[in-house]
Structure 1
Amino acid sequence: MNRDFLMEETKSQMPTRRWEHTLGVMSSAVKLAKRFGADPDRAELAALLHDYCKYWPIAEQRSEYELAGLEPDLLRYDPQLIHGPLAAEIVNRRYGIKDAEVLDAIRYHTSGREAMTLLDKIVCLADYIEPGRDFPSVDAIREMAEHSLERALVAGFDSTIQFLLNKGKKVYPLTLAARNALIDELNRTNPSDGAAE
């Protein structure tokens, strides 16, 4: 699929500010891919498409999600979670994106999951730390991302979970599972460190 065509198709799905975010996620994903040994082209493609249908009306997202037969449990949580799995489904169908790892990185970029692949981690983290992001712990997470995808992602998930708790909102269980799996991964690679706890 032609990159320029996909850029125009994606840009047409969102307001200018979100397109600028997408460009930031793309550049961050490419940098992370080069730093941690992933394929920069696949990282860029997943980043380009990660928010493909985020600005469709929520009612349309829900309807398309249900029509696609996707995991119904997710619909009991924040509607902001719908666009990841839905985008993976839509870009597969509309544009013939068949790369399962790219589709999974799109699908799980908001929630995370257990046993995240390298590409999952890169796209999820790029979404947190792209240059346009501005929240209290973002600089610390960017600094962690210089050395460890896993530590940076745990910090990102912690920030998200704390935000949801402060707002009195439910936390999607897959996000907790993703965080816990990353903690286990860090503890396996640095068993005497204790810093992952």
Structure 2
Amino acid sequence: MMEIQEIEEILQQKQNPHRYRHTIGVRYTSICLAMRYGEDLTKASYAGLLHDCAKHMSGEKLLEKCRSHHLPVSDMEAKNPFLLHGRVGAWLAGHRYGVEDPEILSAIEWHTTGKPDMTLLEKIVFTADYIEPGRDQAPNLAWLRQLAFTDIDQAVCEILKQTLDYLRDQGGEIDPATEVTYSYYLQKCAEDAES
């Protein structure tokens, strides 16, 4: 696996300054959440740093990478190929940056839509992507950042809700994976509240 500093240097060349600042913000937020919840800091560092390593690619290039490396593409992803940057990013992390840990690769793959029953690392990167310090557009961000450090499942649920609300308000297409994930966490948080 490449050293963190080496990956940072490569990403700084590939990403525009705004995306690179976001990347570093997600890395540090992932580490902070990992400290809070007892996750492996090195895994959180690599997953946070590499989560958007394919984001600079065009939709056409993402589709081409999926085809040439036999990565699955849903109908929704074929119509909205930007959704593939997590899957292609996981492939790049493994093949270009030497990451072999399946937990890190999975956290990179699922950081956009999430998925039901995510691992702690997957939840950390998913959440860090939304709340990192450079983000300033989401509603109730200060509250959501506090929530992320007190109840990560509830934070995941709220992020999914806000994402779906935003897409509905904008008239955007909604990836069914996000809806399935939201339903799962809505039920999980309701059950946790009852117990």
Could you tell me which residue of structure 2 aligns to residue 165 of structure 1?
168
Q: Which amino acid aligns with 2:55?
A: K
Unpaired runs of 5+ residues, structure 1, are 193-197
2:158 pairs with 1:155: yes
Could you tell me which residue of structure 1 aligns to residue 26 of structure 2?
25
Unpaired runs of 5+ residues, structure 2, are none
Distance 2:41 2:3 in 1: 16
Could you tell me which residue of structure 1 aligns to residue 106 of structure 2?
104
Q: Which amino acid aligns with 2:112?
A: T
CA deviation string 1:65-96 (max 9, x = no partner): 22222222142453331100000011211122
Preserved contact between residue 128 and residue 138 of structure 1 (Cα < 8 Å): no
**Percent of matched pairs sharing the same residue:** 32
Distance 2:24 2:79 in 1: 28
Match among 180, 185, 188 for residue 183 of structure 2: 180
Q: Which amino acid aligns with 2:132?
A: E
Preserved contact between residue 58 and residue 82 of structure 2 (Cα < 8 Å): no
Distance 1:58 1:11 in 2: 21
Could you tell me which residue of structure 2 aligns to residue 195 of structure 1?
none
Quote the offset at 1:137 in angstroms: 2.7
Q: Which amino acid aligns with 1:132?
A: G
Q: How many residues align?
A: 192
Q: Which amino acid aligns with 1:94?
A: R
User: Matched residue of 1:61: which SS?
Assistant: helix
Could you tell me which residue of structure 2 aligns to residue 49 of structure 1?
50
Q: Which amino acid aligns with 1:47?
A: G
CA deviation string 1:40-62 (max 9, x = no partner): 11001000000001011221112
Task: Name whichever of 49-58 and 115-124 sits farther off.
Answer: 49-58
Quote the offset at 1:6 in angstroms: 1.3
Task: Name whichever of 75-84 and 149-158 sits farther off.
Answer: 75-84
Distance 1:95 1:82 in 2: 18
Q: For 1:1-197, list aligned pairs within 5 A.
A: 1-73=2-74, 74-135=76-137, 136-191=139-194
Task: Name whichever of 137-146 and 125-134 sits farther off.
Answer: 137-146
Distance 1:137 1:85 in 2: 29
Distance 1:22 1:124 in 2: 13
Quote the offset at 1:7 in angstroms: 1.2
CA deviation string 1:28-48 (max 9, x = no partner): 111100111111110010000
Please provide the CA RMSD for this pair.
Answer: 1.4
Quote the offset at 1:109 in angstroms: 0.3
CA deviation string 1:154-175 (max 9, x = no partner): 1111111111111212211111
CA deviation string 1:114-135 (max 9, x = no partner): 1100000000000000001012
Preserved contact between residue 62 and residue 82 of structure 1 (Cα < 8 Å): yes
Distance 1:52 1:115 in 2: 24
User: Matched residue of 1:110: which SS?
Assistant: coil
Preserved contact between residue 13 and residue 53 of structure 1 (Cα < 8 Å): no
